Copies of this chain bind each other. A is one copy, B any other.
Amino acid sequence: MANDILKLDNQICFPLYAATREMTKRYRPLLDELNLTYPQYLVLLVLWETDRISVKALGERLFLDSGTLTPMLKRMEARGLLKRTRSKQDERVVEVALTEQGKQAETKATQIPLKFLQQTQLDEEDFIQLKRILAKMLDQIEES
């Protein structure tokens, strides 16, 4: 090839893309026990921190829009994990809140990050660097 700039191994986005999918693949067996997909697990992570949150705020937190969230939240509601309610103050807003079942899932979920980290042999230093760089990237994106 004329110039190496188009070589797969010289791209930054490809390893990011590939690593993300391989990571979520490692989560899958852990999440299967809770009958959750990875994005659904992320929704629960947010709700365990902040129960009762609007779809919009949830979307801002996870960088997802209503086109993704609405059907996903409906599936989670059908499973009895959460409740979707129109806000009384502003009828445009839908608020999401955990059910008892959704709250109880947190206990089980505590095992997941631990088990996950056990099989990820990144040393402490790389782990910290990776988080720092990704956080920087996401900051820049939020600003722009």
* B-binding residues in A (CB < 8 A): 1, 3, 5-8, 10-24, 27, 38, 42, 45-46, 48-49, 61-63, 106, 109-110, 113-114, 116, 120-122, 126-127, 129-131, 133-138, 140-141
Copies of this protein, total: 2
Chain B residue with the shortest CB-CB distance to A8: B45
Identify the 8 closest CB pairs spanning chains A and B, nearest first.
A15-B134, A20-B20, A22-B141, A13-B23, A16-B20, A8-B45, A126-B133, A130-B133
Q: Is the CB of A12 within 8 A of B48?
A: no
**Partner among B6, B63, B134 whose Cβ is within 8 Å of the Cβ of A16:** B134
**Partner among B17, B62, B135 whose Cβ is within 8 Å of the Cβ of A20:** B17
Q: Is the CB of A17 within 8 A of B12?
A: no
Chain B residue with the shortest CB-CB distance to A121: B140
**Partner among B6, B49, B137 whose Cβ is within 8 Å of the Cβ of A1:** B49
